[in-house]
Chains A and B, each alone.
Chain A
Amino acid sequence: MTLSTLFIAVLMGTVVSYYIGRGRSHSIAKPVGGVRNLATLPSYYATLMSLWALLPALLLVFLWLVMDGSIISGLVRSELPLEAKQLNPDSLGLLMNQIGNLAEGVGTLDALGAEYKPAVDRLIHLNSISATAMPVLVMLVMLIGMILGFRTIKADNNARYAVERVFNAVLFISSSIAVLTTFGIIFSVLFESINFFQKVPFMDFVFGTHWSPQIALRADQVGASGSFGVIPLIVGTLLISLIALTIAVPVGLMSAIYLAEYASRRVRGVIKPALEILAGIPTVVYGFFAALTVAPAIREYGDGLRDWGAENGIGWLATLNVSSESALAAGLVMGIMIIPFVSSLSDDVINAVPQSLRDGSFGLGATKSETIKKVIFPAALPGIVGGVLLAASRAIGETMIVVMAAGLAANLTVNPLEAVTTVTVQIVTLLVGDQEFDSAKTLAAFALGLFLFVITLALNIIALRVVKKYREQYD
């Protein structure tokens, strides 16, 4: 029985329980003078009974799926030949993997050695027991649940209370998922980062100016040759983000001002959604655009300038060299991506400035631009600063554009025409492909992730504070 058929069976059982429960409540209602003399509506009794059938069974399936693998492999491991038990954890893991593969019929026993035949057989046997036992036990638990649920259907028992308690509990559990996610992020990133800092000293990571993680052909070489100085990545990230913000902030802000203060309703109705299209385009599309259209165009233009400089004897132009993965291309396209983000946040804060301030300024004879520059902009400034911080956090965390259009080489430079790499690019490159999970290389990605998380979180918290303060000012 596959998992999906089991799920369907459990769901059907739940539905059946509902109808049984409803029937039962109607039948107990008869002797006491009809449904109105029950403590609550039949549908509540029915719901309660179906919950009794569903929840314990679901819980069992979940626990089984989580525990099953580790219990079985623990049992198999305890029966391995003695010399296998003394292997180091990595080799033992590999061995268990091979045994697992054999149990699924992949590969032959020759590679492993005949002494592992019992282990393979044992694994097959345990797996088959687990596979048969689970549906049986789950259905049994469900049946018991149905019986218990059936017995709760009494005229004087108000099933609504129980149902609503379950309802409340489900709501609470759902809302705690957001918190669990945060903890999940913190723990997973923190845990692996601590592992990483046991291999690479923290100070080398934070203050190192050289990044080349391509190391360790063998496990015992870890940390011997690769260097993990994060400074070039930070400089690269900041460079690209800065280029992006230099484009997005003025353009986004001015568009927002123009649309909010000058444009007629009709123009605004057309232009605003058109700009919002930019926000809906997936980042991978921007990445493609940056890598295949913008970067070559910039390079071509740069080369043209160089030739022109050489012909006309302009020395500094003649040495101009534009990388095909220039930071400028990635930053430019990222800037385009962030425009709607900046403009919609600015739009919000500009509209939050009360009309009375505009009236006050117009009433004194100020022109529109004077009112905007001298009254609205200063009044909206905190909100705009908050928006820019959020945009900065976006830019720093943006991944696909830089993965596709920025380089891999960690150059420590602030020249926008050269290739730089960023924190996110390195996270992706270090983790894509099959790596062993505990080499310094993969762990470095989590350390970078921790760094990224802390920075963006800090920016967000500050930004949200600033924006909130600003809102309160006018509420």
Chain B
Amino acid sequence: MAENSKQTMNDTYETTGIPLLKDSKLSVRNVDVFYGDKQAIFDVNLDIGKNQVISMIGPSGCGKSTFLRCLNRMNDTIDICNVTGEIKLEDQNIYDRSIDVVELRARVGMVFQKPNPFPKSIYENVAYGARIHGLTDNKLELDELVESSLKRCGLWKEVKERLLEPATGLSGGQQQRLCIARAIAVNPEVILMDEPCSALDPIATATVEELIHELSQNFTICIVTHSMQQAARVSQRTAYFHLGKLIEVNDTSVVFTNPKHQLTEEYITGRIG
């Protein structure tokens, strides 16, 4: 191998690029994640800026989804999963004992890989979060909330005639947009998206990407994706994960045009994948 100016991977490593920001919504410090004895995430430090879209890319099994799930403590549902380090949501450590996961998840919403509408009506799906959190006082407010959430996701026109029909009857793309509407109906500060388009066809993907772009006006969005094009299209910053380590973080344009780390470059050019 020719002499390379770019960094290679060592046991102790330092994230290349600009992982830390001055003004951040979420700041992650020294986070390790273990599944039983197996370590899945190694010492990740990362800041996520307010009203920004950051995408996490990397080969499958690199820990990007695991990392995402740490951000609203979804990993709590897995018994053997153990998270150490510090993740701050506006100066509050979300792994602090005093933090209520229920409250946390109302602030940090999540959209999953496979559309997972509840087997209820479209209306009930969107109203679910508001109902459990008691966010509205009466039926009228709830109706408004449902309507506005669906409108923000561009789904209102398509479903307003059949709000009371089962959500499982929608197409895959519509279901995923419904899940996003369901998430934003709670008015979270951060939305986590775990490969939200991987189960969708190209046209539905395009619609969802457009939606993400619009939502970034008001929400901080972290998106995990296996599609580099998608990352390039929707995000301002991009983080590259490799075998549980955060290798490189930078502005999306920099990562894709001028990666600083050898692994990032290999991934971008298709040599790892």
Contact = CB atoms under 8 A, between A and B. Distances in A.
B102 interface: yes
A375 B124 CA distance: 11
A121 to B, nearest CB: 80
Given A356-B112, A362-B74, A363-B192, 20 more contacts: A265-B79, A356-B116, A357-B119, A360-B116, A360-B179, A362-B77, A363-B105, A363-B110, A363-B111, A363-B183, A364-B110, A364-B186, A365-B103, A365-B129, A365-B133, A365-B186, A366-B102, A374-B132, A378-B119, A378-B120
Contacts of B179: 360
B102 A365 contact: yes
Given A364-B132, A366-B102, A356 B119 contact: no
A379 B131 CA distance: 18
B88 interface: no
B152 interface: no
Contact of A363 (B74, B79, B117): B74
B129 A379 contact: no
B112 A366 contact: no
Contacts of B133: 365
B114 interface: yes
A436 interface: no
Given A359-B74, A374-B128, A364 B116 contact: no
B106 interface: yes
Instruction: For chain A, give the interface size range.
Output: 20 to 34
Given A354-B116, A378-B120, A379-B119, A364 B77 contact: no
Contacts of B106: 364-365
Interface string B78-102: 0100000000000000000000011
A2 to B, nearest CB: 64
B252 interface: no
B132 A370 contact: yes
A370 B105 CA distance: 14
Interface string B106-128: 10011110101111100000001
A379 B77 contact: no
Nearest to B182: A364
A358 interface: yes
A460 B132 CA distance: 37
Contacts of B72: 363
Interface string A149-182: 0000000000000000000000000000000000
Chain A interface helix/strand/loop/mixed: helix
B224 to A, nearest CB: 14
A357 B109 contact: no
B103 to A, nearest CB: 7
Interface string A329-367: 000000000000000000000000010111111111111
Contacts of A367: 102, 132
A123 to B, nearest CB: 73
A264 interface: yes
Nearest to B101: A365
A363 B132 contact: no
A375 B112 CA distance: 16
B174 to A, nearest CB: 16
Interface string A369-410: 010001100110000000000000000000000000000000
Contacts of A473: 119
A358 B116 CA distance: 9
B118 A379 contact: yes
Given A360-B179, A378-B120, A365 B105 contact: yes
Contacts of B131: 374
16 contacts: A357-B118, A358-B77, A360-B112, A360-B182, A363-B74, A363-B109, A363-B110, A363-B183, A363-B192, A364-B182, A364-B186, A365-B101, A365-B129, A365-B186, A366-B102, A374-B128
B104 interface: yes
Nearest to B130: A364
B119 A364 contact: no
Which 3 A-B pairs give the minimum distances between C-beta atoms? A363-B110, A365-B105, A365-B106
B112 A364 contact: no
A58 to B, nearest CB: 56
A357 B182 CA distance: 13
The winner among A359, A361, A363, A366 for most chain B CB atoms within 10 A is: A363
